[in-house]
Amino acid sequence: MTGSVVQMNAQGAPTARPGRRRFGRTWLGLAPFAIFSTLFLLIPTAYLVVGSFQDPAGDLTLQNYADLSDPVITNAYATSLEISLVTAVAGGVYGFLMAYAVISAGLPRRLRSGLMTFSGVASNFAGIPLALAFIFTIGRTGLLTTFLDSVGIRPYESGFSLYTKVGLEIVYFYFQLPLMILIIAPAIDGLKQEWREASENMGATSRQYWRYVALPVLMPSLLGAMILLFGNAFGAQATAYQLTGGFINLVPLLIGNQLSGDVLHNVGLGYALAMGMVAILGITLIAYSVLQRRSERWLR
């Protein structure tokens, strides 16, 4: 079966001689990539999968997955999911508004390229320096905190803290927002001026235009982008590590603790924990690709 397909492909390329003889060499071209990804991606991931189904003695078990119901672990998943969801939706909505403001809302053209360039930088400004920037600004002795203290507003005495879930969400928002701006800008560009004119000619109000034209066209892109944001926050580790010193209970931090000192006292449970993360991110990627296909229908 495979041989005939090769022949068909080969007909398109006059220099290649059709025939079974070439089959091995054709595959050989992909060998370096195949070997590399097998060694450093597929085998290690498979190692985790297999390990997650083994007990310490190496026998087959489902106990590791049953142990995920431990309150510490379910709590970590709940917190991770909540932070990812909140920052994906908030960053998604505000990122869309900001992108729309510079692209279609009549703000000076120059702002657009400025915001896009900055977003490219800011979406990569994650991890340690980002957490530090927020600590220096609204940490307990940060610039803004001391300023607010001096004018009588004491954020840390009225229940705010950077080193909590809300604080972490504020920090994550910093890379979610620019990422949304970058992803959604092409979709906003794809909204054709003619659609608006057509709906206005037919007597539609601005609200009706949004309700029945713009939002339905944009919806797959918006949802897809937010799903990408969700995955982006869910997999993040360094920012939370630096900000909370590993004390806030998140799945990536739990995996980090397991990695540096087997805190779960069960290697298999650590593997199952990582597999849970992979499963959730796998679902988000599938959902994303489905929505991506839909959004391509209108936005070309």
In this chain, which of 1, 24, 29, 194 binds other proteins, going by CB under 8 A? 29
Q: Which is nearer to other proteins, 183 or 291 (CB)?
A: 183
In this chain, which of 90, 255, 264, 291 binds other proteins, going by CB under 8 A? 255
Q: Which is nearer to other proteins, 190 or 235 (CB)?
A: 235
Residue 121 engages other proteins in binding (rule: CB under 8 A): yes
Instruction: Give SS3 for 54.
Output: strand
Give the length of the chain: 300
Tell which residue, 285, 280, 268, 254, has the closest CA to residue 48: 268
Considering only residues 76-95, where is the footprint of other proteins by CB under 8 A? 94
Residue 107 engages other proteins in binding (rule: CB under 8 A): yes
Identity of residue 248: I
Residue 14 engages other proteins in binding (rule: CB under 8 A): yes
DSSP one-letter code for 60: B
The pair of three-digit structure tokens given for residue 245, joined into one six-digit string: 């010193």
Considering only residues 222-251, where is the footprint of other proteins by CB under 8 A? 228, 231-239, 241-242
Helix then strand then coil, in percent of the chain rounded to 5, is 75, 0, 25
- How many CB atoms within 10 Å of residue 166? 14
Round to whole Å and give the CA distance between 227 and 220: 10
Considering only residues 50-79, where is the footprint of other proteins by CB under 8 A? 51
Residue 209 engages other proteins in binding (rule: CB under 8 A): no
Give the largest CA-CA distance in the chain.
Answer: 83
In this chain, which of 57, 59, 60, 106 binds other proteins, going by CB under 8 A? 106
Residue 220 engages other proteins in binding (rule: CB under 8 A): no
Look-up: residue for tokens 């709590």? Answer: 75
Q: Which is nearer to other proteins, 217 or 253 (CB)?
A: 253
Round to whole Å and give the CA distance between 221 and 188: 9
Find the shortest distance in angstroms from Cβ 158 to other proteins.
19
List the x/- string, 135-164, binding to other proteins by CB under 8 A.
Answer: -xxx---xxx--------------------
Total binding residues for other proteins by CB under 8 A?
Answer: 95
Q: Which is nearer to other proteins, 121 or 202 (CB)?
A: 121
- How many CB atoms within 10 Å of residue 223? 17
